């Protein structure tokens, strides 16, 4: 998939969740990646029958972030499913679907990466712990303290994974998975 260099100057990374969705906005100027903002979107508590309300809150809050920063690309962690917890994967798929819809309606291309690829990109270890990801993100952006909660670090790691995956080829800018 080819993306122009202008299209990737501002990227939003997302760590999808139905309780807390982490987001991180980074920009590239020359060869430096800068942190613009990072935070979480907290959703209403789970209550029987309020999934649609929670998804609407996620959509609305994410649209606000997109409207404020106008990212040109979105990177998010792909849904991981574990045989012992199929319901979790299904629910996460709902959150990811709403996130992809918000991006689509804003004209933002979405790139998905596996958790292993994101961890490998920022720590050098695809099996890194949440703490290792937090420390790597803290170090990369020279932050005074680790991003908290871990969802923020995961979102920033997704954005960094995207930035790290970009390859320059003369005047052409290619993105490869």
How far apart, in whole angstroms, are the C-alpha atoms of residue 17 and residue 115?
Answer: 14
Distances (CA, A) of 84 to 34, 47, 79: 39, 23, 15
Residue 77 annotated as catalytic:
yes
Which domain, by its residues, includes 29? 6-175
How many domains, the chain?
1
Tally the C-alpha atoms within 13 A of residue 159's C-alpha that lie toward its C-beta. Answer: 33
Tell me whether residue 34 is in a domain: yes
169 pLDDT above the threshold of 80? no
From the candidates 15, 56, 67, 144, which is the catalytic residue? 15
pLDDT in tens, 117-142: 999 999 999 999 999 999 999 999 99
Tell me whether residue 89 is in a domain: yes
From the candidates 53, 68, 77, 154, which is the catalytic residue? 77
Tell me whether residue 81 is in a domain: yes
**pTM of structure:** 0.87
Tell me whether residue 1 is in a domain: no
From the candidates 37, 78, 144, 151, which is the catalytic residue? 151
Residue 53 annotated as catalytic:
no
pLDDT in tens, 35-89: 999 999 999 888 888 999 999 999 999 999 999 999 999 999 887 777 787 888 8
Domain holding 161: CATH number? Answer: 3.30.420.10
How far apart, in whole angstroms, are the C-alpha atoms of residue 102 and residue 123?
Answer: 29
Residue 151 annotated as catalytic:
yes
């Amino acid at each position: 998939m080819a993306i122009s260099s202008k299209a990737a100057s501002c990227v939003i990374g997302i760590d999808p969740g139905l309780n807390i969705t982490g987001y991180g906005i980074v920009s590239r100027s020359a060869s430096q990646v800068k942190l613009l903002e990072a935070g979480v979107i907290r959703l209403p508590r789970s209550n029987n029958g309020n999934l649609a309300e929670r998804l609407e809150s996620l959509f609305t809050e994410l649209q606000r972030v997109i409207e404020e920063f106008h990212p040109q690309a979105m990177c998010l962690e792909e849904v991981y499913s574990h045989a012992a917890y199929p319901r979790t994967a299904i629910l996460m798929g709902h959150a990811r679907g709403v996130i992809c819809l918000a991006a689509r309606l804003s004209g933002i291309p979405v790139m998905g990466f596996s958790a292993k690829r994101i961890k490998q990109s920022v720590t050098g270890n695809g099996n890194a712990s949440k703490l290792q990801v937090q420390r790597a993100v803290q170090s990369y952006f020279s932050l005074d303290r680790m991003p908290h909660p871990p969802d923020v670090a995961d979102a920033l790691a997704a954005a960094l994974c995207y930035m790290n995956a970009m390859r320059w080829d003369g005047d052409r800018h290619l993105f490869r998975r």
